[in-house]
Amino acid sequence: MNTYDSLNEQQKLGVFTTEGPVLILAGAGSGKTRVLTHRVAYLIEEKGVAPYHIMAITFTNKAAGEMRERIDSMIGMGSESIWVSTFHSSCVRILRRFADRLGYDNSFTIYDTDDSKTLMKDICKRLEIDTKMYKEKTFLNVISSAKNELISPEEFAQNAIGDFNKTRQAQVYREYQARLKANNAMDFDDLIMKTVELLKFDTEVRNFYQEKFQYIMVDEYQDTNTAQFELVRLLASGRENLCVVGDDDQSIYKFRGANIYNILNFEKHYPNATVIKLEQNYRSTANILNAANGVIANNRGRKEKRLWTESGDGEKIYFQQFDSAYEEADFIARDIAARVRRSEYQYGDCAILYRTNGQSRMLEEKLIMSGIPYKIVGGVNFYARREVKDLLSYMKVVDNAQDDLAVQRIINVPKRGIGATSIGKASDYAYRMGLNLFEALERAEEIPTLGRAAGKIAPFVDLIHHFRKVCANEGLSALLQEIITETGYVEELKVEGTDEAQARIENIDELITKVVSYEQETDEPTLSGFLEEVALVADIDSLDDDGSYVVLMTLHSAKGLEFPNVYLSGMEDGLFPSYMSITADNSDEEIEEERRLCYVGITRAKERLTITGARMRMMRGETQYHGISRFVKEIPEDLIQGNTWEPKPKDDFFSERPMSNRQKMCNMKKTPLAAQTYQAAKDFGTKIQKNSLDYGEGDRVKHVKFGEGTVVQINDGGRDFEVTVEFDGAGRKKMFASFAKLQKV
């Protein structure tokens, strides 16, 4: 069987048009990501392109991981040399090799948001800025936006002439950047900006990567910012074998500098681009899809897209407004419990989505009370916990003693009698002498103001030197063990003996596990490599795939994912759309962005969608009263069921509905989607061809990459069989039979 028969005609065009620029602009669930993975397989298997020449970029680690898995299961040998990664990790890889050409050490540190904040605090103190009037966070936001737009501190200063506020920001930006450089560190935005700089100014490096990446693909292209656009443009220039896929209706990162014009103007940048539209949705039932279409139709200035589906109407969308957020959470927990009890769904099929992180607490409480296992994506990230950060800071100092923040964090942890005053003196001395903090500490004896405190610093410096030797001679996990033993970190927690201390010890154990598994899974494990992997773990990575728990996350984190049973909670005007967007000067624009987020939320659902809201909710300690979200009212009424809006006259659902929407709805009723779908499906006439398999469940099979294993399950996925195999070495994998090319043994 031809591997690509499971694709529709438009998808095939996306896969087979390998040369020149290609833009795939299509709605949610239309198989954009699927086209990308098949395209990679096609390039290698049919066009004989070496995996080494291929790059596929996406936004989250989770998405990159899923893409990697899909590609691995399609092609055997060599898939590991394809770059399948996020923008950030691709850039780290490039910079680890060539950052020295920008005057950094190749072992530079990556600062997370917390680190940047600490640094900014310090800068404001040094520059004597009144942080009550000029907030640190504002400076950081301004700097981040400048970096996303590739504006250097010098350019920023140029543009600021004559503007008092901006001049101050320029001064802070310059100082912030200088300090990062002195610490041999980059923040997240630098990773992209510095790579662009490198590619722009170093012809050798540019030629090297242009030659290497002969085929480039970008998923979720609608959310790229100017710096990311420039990066892709530079890498692809010359051959221009660039395939980008995205959906302008799902652009939700304007606040991080995403520039929707990157996708809308793609054809202007690349006039010879092949533009492909995908219109069949394979993810959701017709009711869910029509609800999403109904909502997004209210945005102006969008490229009109018509999505249809072959799947039936499915269940109606269930909507309920509750008196309080408490009742809302209670309902969701009970609904999930009941469905799992009836074996309709497993916990892992269910996702609860919300607008802001704070909404999770109430939901969590109810889930705990109902004994429902759940995981929060984006809650307190494991790597942000104190004990984990402390130990990682030790490792950072061992790796790169130029990182002042890490040094400051641990110099007196555990207590060594080195007080803030001594640290301040050493840090002032470092500043004056143009040294980094650790270098200053190494010369503590020479710092006149330190006096006797110098004697306390020497053992700390010796300790770090000792750790370096351990790391070089015995490796990473030995290093971590040595740090734990020598600092007495765990001992101290044991003495403390509280539940909290116990939880911290468990987190440390988890970190040890992480280091050991990193060492086992990596060909050449290094301390820098480990720290880098840790720094890049987005919150979403805490999601495992064993499917045994309900997932809670913000709508932003849900992009690209899909679940059979989805709950959209907190659908209230003032919360979603947010009060800020409703009252903003450019309210129309802001609300359109929120509406796109709503579209993303609705389209995550495959089979069931439940929408809930509360009249009364506590926010930042204040009780607030909200009406039903305007987005709910934009869903055609015939798609909705449930105890909805009747109890309170002021919430009358339909009287507020604008006339134009009613008309739209009437039009929809005249041409029912099911009929359109049926006709379109007939017109399509895709041939279904599927070879039978020569192995069955329980048989032993062999895969080129994963080796031998036992077939656990075979599902008829329509156009192809989906085979689940428990491999002896590689564990359980699910793959398409035609790609997997399994041989019975």
Ligand X SMILES: Nc1ncnc2c1ncn2[C@@H]1O[C@H](COP(=O)(O)OP(=O)(O)OP(=O)(O)O)[C@@H](O)[C@H]1O
d(CA 119, CA 173): 12
CB 307 within 8 A of CB 293: yes
Q: Which is nearer to ligand X, 321 or 603 (CB)?
A: 603
Q: Which of 70, 355, 604, 606 is catalytic?
A: 604
Q: Which does 409 bind (CB under 5 to 8 A by kind): Mg ion, ligand X, none?
A: none
Least separation in angstroms between residue 67's CB and ligand X is: 10
CB 729 within 8 A of CB 707: yes
User: Is 511 buried (19+), middle (13-18) or exposed (0-12) by CB count in 10 A?
Assistant: buried
Q: Which is nearer to Mg ion, 60 or 427 (CB)?
A: 60
Q: Which does 8 bind (CB under 5 to 8 A by kind): Mg ion, ligand X, none?
A: ligand X
d(CA 351, CA 563): 7
Q: Is 32 labelled a binding residue?
A: yes
**Residue listed under structure tokens 């086992």:** 520
Least separation in angstroms between residue 53's CB and ligand X is: 23
Positions touching ligand X (CB under 6 A) are 6-8, 11, 28-34, 247, 250, 282-283, 560, 562, 603, 719
Q: Is 297 labelled a binding residue?
A: no
d(CA 458, CA 443): 9
Q: Which does 7 bind (CB under 5 to 8 A by kind): ligand X, Mg ion, none?
A: ligand X
CB 191 within 8 A of CB 112: no
Q: Which does 28 bind (CB under 5 to 8 A by kind): ligand X, Mg ion, none?
A: ligand X
Instruction: Note if 220 is an active site residue.
Output: yes
Q: Which does 540 bind (CB under 5 to 8 A by kind): Mg ion, ligand X, none?
A: none
Phi-psi region of 250 (alpha: psi -120 to 50; beta: other; left: phi over 0): alpha
DSSP-assigned letter for residue 545? S
Least separation in angstroms between residue 355's CB and ligand X is: 18
Q: Which of 187, 189, 219, 539 is catalytic?
A: 219
Q: Which is nearer to ligand X, 267 or 562 (CB)?
A: 562
Q: Which does 14 bind (CB under 5 to 8 A by kind): Mg ion, ligand X, none?
A: none
Least separation in angstroms between residue 561's CB and ligand X is: 8
Q: Which of 250, 280, 309, 603 is catalytic?
A: 250
Q: Which of 12, 32, 302, 559 is catalytic?
A: 32
Q: Which is nearer to ligand X, 305 or 504 (CB)?
A: 305
Q: Which of 190, 220, 573, 607 is catalytic?
A: 220
Q: Which is nearer to ligand X, 8 or 557 (CB)?
A: 8
Q: Is 152 labelled a binding residue?
A: no
Long-range contacts (CB closer than 8 Å, 24 or more residues apart) made by 588-596: 592/299, 592/300, 592/301, 593/251, 593/252, 593/254, 594/631, 595/295, 595/296, 595/298, 595/299, 595/631, 596/249, 596/250, 596/251, 596/252, 596/296, 596/299
Counting every residue written for the chain, the total comes to: 745
CB 91 within 8 A of CB 167: no
For residue 310, give every residue at least 6 positions away whose Cβ sits within 8 Å of its Cβ, in sequence order, or none: 280, 677, 681
Q: Which is nearer to Mg ion, 560 or 574 (CB)?
A: 560
Closest CA to 549 of 381, 291, 373: 373
Instruction: Note if 250 is an active site residue.
Output: yes
Q: Which does 30 bind (CB under 5 to 8 A by kind): ligand X, Mg ion, none?
A: ligand X
Least separation in angstroms between residue 288's CB and ligand X is: 12
CB 624 within 8 A of CB 613: no
Which residue number has the CB closest to Mg ion?
Answer: 33
Q: Which is nearer to ligand X, 175 or 247 (CB)?
A: 247
**Residue listed under structure tokens 């202007």:** 268
Least separation in angstroms between residue 85's CB and Mg ion is: 16
Instruction: Note if 219 is an active site residue.
Output: yes
* Token code pair at residue 546: 């064993």
Q: Which of 3, 11, 33, 280 is catalytic?
A: 33
3-state class (DSSP) for residue 1: coil
Q: Which does 29 bind (CB under 5 to 8 A by kind): ligand X, Mg ion, none?
A: ligand X
Q: Is 27 labelled a binding residue?
A: yes
d(CA 28, CA 309): 12
Q: Is 28 labelled a binding residue?
A: yes
Which residue number has the CB closest to ligand X?
Answer: 31
Least separation in angstroms between residue 54's CB and Mg ion is: 18
d(CA 539, CA 677): 38
Instruction: Note if 462 is an active site residue.
Output: no
Q: Which is nearer to ligand X, 11 or 436 (CB)?
A: 11
Least separation in angstroms between residue 686's CB and ligand X is: 8
Q: Is 581 labelled a binding residue?
A: no
Q: Which does 309 bind (CB under 5 to 8 A by kind): Mg ion, ligand X, none?
A: none
* Token code pair at residue 237: 């220039």
For residue 591, give every residue at least 6 positions away whose Cβ sits within 8 Å of its Cβ, in sequence order, or none: 577, 581, 582
User: Is 498 buried (19+), middle (13-18) or exposed (0-12) by CB count in 10 A?
Assistant: exposed
d(CA 435, CA 428): 10
Least separation in angstroms between residue 58's CB and Mg ion is: 8
Q: Which is nearer to ligand X, 5 or 492 (CB)?
A: 5
Count of H-run helices and E-run strands, the chain: 31, 23
d(CA 27, CA 588): 22
> DSSP alpha helices (H): ranges in 213-265?
226-236, 261-264
> DSSP alpha helices (H): ranges in 454-564?
454-474, 476-487, 489-496, 499-521, 527-535
The set of catalytic residues is 32-33, 219-220, 250, 604
Residues that constitute the known binding site: 26-33
Known binding residues for ATP: 26-33
